[in-house]
Amino acid sequence: MAFLETIDNDTVAALPAAHFPGRIVVVDKEEQIGEACGDLRRYKMIGFDTETRPSFRAGVSYKVSLLQLSTPDTCYLFRLSRIRLDNRILKVLGSHEILKVGADIMGDIRSLHALRDFKADGFVDLQHEAIRWGIQEKSLRKLSAIVLGERVSKAQRLSNWEAEQLTQQQQEYAATDAWVCPRILNHLMECELKSEPLHIITCRGVQETLNAPSKRARKRHHRRKESNENKN
């Protein structure tokens, strides 16, 4: 099956909305973490996403507020503005045996590393994988439209993710964003199985994700310095 390379906004807007049909569990207390992570560890593939409170002032930014991890029937919303990035959560994020599927994975991992350094492993980025099927779009909204024929709403994206209580609309939006990612990947693979394996993203620590550009810049600087010294 051939997929469209691109899709326009009007076509996307006319599609039926994707809607997470399962159970949504808001994890905002330490005692809830164990049960949630225990359930997540039963699966080989889960959906992954994060949300951050938007800033409307220059120079003001916020740390990641929400981590979404979704099985086919249950989405756990870890309120990282209320609970710490616990070791039990990190075991899921660092497991090579559990594929965490999302879009723009490195951006999300960088946001989580701003809270705590950890090893990330077993991540699959739809933006990278979709290219193998000839899809040029990068946004989750358009990837869902092309692959599933369903529209992912972005109505709650700029809402306050650090609010006292998440609204039902926020919960459904967050859950859908995570849940739809494995569906997209599975549908791609079912339509045409590729001979190359999935590209698994592994990051050993914060330096690898936050400082990669500056490390390259330092290497270039040292090469230039060595070259100048040799000339002299």
The residues, ordered by sequence, that sit 6+ positions from 198 with a Cβ below 8 Å of its Cβ are 99, 124, 129
For 7, the enclosing helix (H) or strand (E) is: none
Task: Answer yes or no: is pLDDT of 20 > 70.
Answer: yes
Which tens digits make up the pLDDT trace of 25-41?
Answer: 999 999 999 999 999 99
Output the CA angle 7-10-15, nearest 5 degrees.
80
**Residue 231: is its pLDDT beyond 80?**
no
Question: What are the structural domain ranges in the chain?
Answer: 9-206
How would CATH label the architecture of 9-206? 2-Layer Sandwich (3.30)
Q: What is the mean pLDDT of residues 78-97?
A: 97
| C-alpha distance from residue 206 to each of 65, 92, 95, 111, 210 (Å) | 18, 17, 17, 10, 6
CB 207 within 8 A of CB 214: no
Q: Which residue has the tokens 């399962």?
A: 22
- Structure confidence at residue 60 (pLDDT): 79
Taking the CA of residue 126 as centre, how many other CA atoms within 13 Å lie in the half-sphere pointing to its CB?
31
pLDDT of residue 205: 66
Q: What are phi and psi of 48, to 5 degrees?
A: -140, 140
The DSSP letter of residue 16 is P
Output the CA angle 207-210-214, nearest 5 degrees: 85
Query: Is residue 16 over pLDDT 60?
Result: yes
- Cα(96)–Cα(105) distance, rounded to whole angstroms? 15
pTM of the entire predicted model: 0.87
pLDDT of residue 217: 43
Q: Supply the pLDDT for residue 208.
A: 56
Indicate the range of 9-23, 150-164, 167-181 predicted with least confidence.
150-164
Which tens digits make up the pLDDT trace of 37-84? 999 999 999 999 999 998 888 887 889 999 999 999 999 999 999 999
112-148 per-position pLDDT tens digit: 999 999 999 999 999 999 999 999 999 999 999 999 9
* pLDDT score of 87 more than 60: yes
Q: Does 169 score more than 50 pLDDT?
A: yes
Distance between terminal CA atoms of the chain?
A: 61
